[in-house]
Amino acid sequence: MYFSIFHWIAIFVFVIISVTLVYFAYKNLNTKGFLTASFAIAILSMFCVIVTIMTIDSTMKEVKLLDVASKQVYRNESFFINGTLKNRGILKVKSCYLKVSMVDISQNRLSHGVFKNRPWFSEIFSSSEEKPQDYHVEILVSNDIEPNSIKKFAVNAKYPTYMSKIRLSYKLDCH
């Protein structure tokens, strides 16, 4: 289950505060003012609950990426990444995704420069011979990581065939 006891406590506290504010609005306002105040209280409470849950997640679920190594396999045009995940938080992490960004750093791609002196209409009539210089892929690396535990992972993903020299960067996204 995604919600922990901390999430439920935060939701319960905001429900109690919202009910109390709606009660005071009912006692002090007329019908039209009460409906407006109730709607405003509901919207504000939902916003506060969402921000609180996101804050709890970011502070209580902390996963670190350790010992990452990558290897290109030219035979099937893929790359192999292995490493270790360490859950340093106090809550169980449901799933972790590794966002891998690949940039082609070959000499012939960078020698053209960033800015090209071309007419504005050349973009419309030109053929799409130029390949993108970057590529992104998101890979599920692990499920259900217990607090204060270490889990190893190994994943395989394809890369574009037109890239000859690749620089990889990693970003870990855990929920």
DSSP code string of the chain: ----HHHHHHHHHHHHHHHHHHHHHHHHS-HHHHHHHHHHHHHHHHHHHHHHHHHHHHHH--EEEEEEEEEEETTTTEEEEEEEEEE-SSS-EEEEEEEEEEEE--HHHHTT-S-----TTHHHHS---PPPSEEEEEEEEEEEEPTT-EEEEEEEEE--TT--SEEEEEEEEE-
Rg of the chain (C-alpha set):
25
Contact 130, 52 (CB under 8 A): no
Q: Is the pLDDT of residue 1 over 90?
A: no
Provide the percentage of residues in the chain whose pLDDT is more than 90: 35
CB-CB contact of 89 with 63 (8 Å): yes
Q: What is the pLDDT of residue 92?
A: 86
Higher pLDDT, 64 or 125: 64
**Of 142, 144, 19, 2, nearest to 81 (Cα)?**
142
Q: What is the pTM of this model?
A: 0.69
Of 46-60, 61-75, 104-118, give the lowest mean pLDDT range: 104-118
pLDDT of residue 74: 78
Written as six digits, the tokens of 47 are 């916003």
pLDDT of residue 167: 84
Bridge-partner residues for 21, per DSSP? none
CA distance 94 to 63: 11
pLDDT of residue 164: 76
Task: Note the pLDDT tens digit of each residue in 139-162.
Answer: 999 888 999 899 999 998 887 877
Return d(Cα 110, Cα 132) in angstroms, integer.
12
How many angstroms separate the CA atoms of 129 and 117, rounded? Answer: 17
More confident residue, 46 or 118: 46
